[in-house]
Amino acid sequence: MAKDLERADSARQLGDELQLHYSDPANCVVLRSKENRILLTEFVLDFFQKELKVRFIVPTEDAKSNGDDAGSPQKQRQRLAADPLVQMAVDVFNGQIGDIRIGPRSR
C-alpha cells in the first residue's frame, strides 16, 4: 500500500474527506480494492485522529482514450511497467524492468 500512496500526485484534506489525486488509475488499483480501502480508512483514522473518508480522484477512461496513441505499443509498455503488481515484484526481488514484450506469445 505504501508504494501506491507514494505514487499519488497530491493528497489534501477537504472537510471530512481525504482526497488522493492520481493521474494514472493503474497507480492506485491495489489501494482501491475493498480490503485495502478498509485498512487505509483505519490508518487515516489513527493518523488524523478523526474520521475521514478516503476519496480517489482519477481521470476517466473517456478522457484517457481521447489521444490517438492511447493504444500504441509504447503506451501499452508504459502501462505494463507502471502496473502495481509489476512494481511490487521489482521491489520484492530487488530487480529492474527490462524488455517488455506485447502481443501473442508465439512470436
Confirm whether 60 is domain-assigned.
yes
Confirm whether 26 is domain-assigned.
yes
Rounded Cα gap, residues 76 and 66, in angstroms: 15
Confirm whether 61 is domain-assigned.
yes
pTM: 0.61
Quote the domain boundaries for residue 58.
2-69
Confirm whether 21 is domain-assigned.
yes
**Domain count across the chain:** 1
The CATH number that applies at residue 24 is 3.30.300.180
Confirm whether 80 is domain-assigned.
no
pLDDT tens digits for range 2-15: 888 888 999 999 99
Low-confidence ranges of the chain (pLDDT < 50): 62, 64
Confirm whether 6 is domain-assigned.
yes
pLDDT tens digits for range 68-79: 555 677 778 888
Nearest to 6 by CA among 91, 75, 94, 98: 91
